[in-house]
Amino acid sequence: MAQVVDPLKAVRSILVPVDGSDACYHALATVCQIARHTKAQVSALHVIEVPRAQALDADLPDEAERGEVLLERAERLAGDHKVKLHGELLQARHAGPAIVDEAAAAEIDAIAIGLGAGGPFGRFQMDEATQYVLEHAACDVWVFRYAAEDGHAG
């Protein structure tokens, strides 16, 4: 009889990009449930995208405050699931490369991304950051696509 392998056993750390969408928090809640089972460490990352017209280390107090609020919400959600969460706020030109680089630097085992359902004209669209992460991340990438509130994908 073949031995059943638990693919989650190898996942010791999970990174969840947080953009403020319901889908990102749904993904985080799912990851917290997985982490409770596997004892994996969970991190949340919010990337402030800095326009090229500004210095990369420009002081962006409104964006930083919004990012802190989003990460605090993520920490509360993780706490509700009895999971400790490490939150980080980064400034970068583009979110996708920042997520991939952060995952590599922290030796993350999986990146979990939440996507909402539907786009223009009822067609599914993947944002640029998610596409970049899927193409370039060296670790596992989990994409959670959630149905619209009414239960329909489009």
Q: What is the largest CA-CA distance in the chain?
A: 62
Tokens 């990146």, located at residue = 111
Q: What is the pLDDT of residue 117?
A: 74
> For the chain, which residues score pLDDT lower than 50?
150-154
**CATH code (residue 90):** 3.40.50.620
Give the whole-angstrom CA distance, residue 11 versus residue 5: 13
Q: What is the pLDDT of residue 107?
A: 97
Query: Which domain does 120 fall in, by range?
Result: 27-145
Distance of CA 30 to the CA centre of its chain: 11
Q: Tell me, yes or no, whether 123 lies in a domain.
A: yes
Q: Tell me, yes or no, whether 97 lies in a domain.
A: yes
Radius of gyration of the chain (CA): 16
Give the chain's domain count: 1
Please indicate, yes or no, whether the overall pTM of this predicted structure exceeds 0.85.
yes
Q: Tell me, yes or no, whether 7 lies in a domain.
A: no
Q: What is the pLDDT of residue 152?
A: 42
Which run of H or E residues covers position 133? helix 128-136
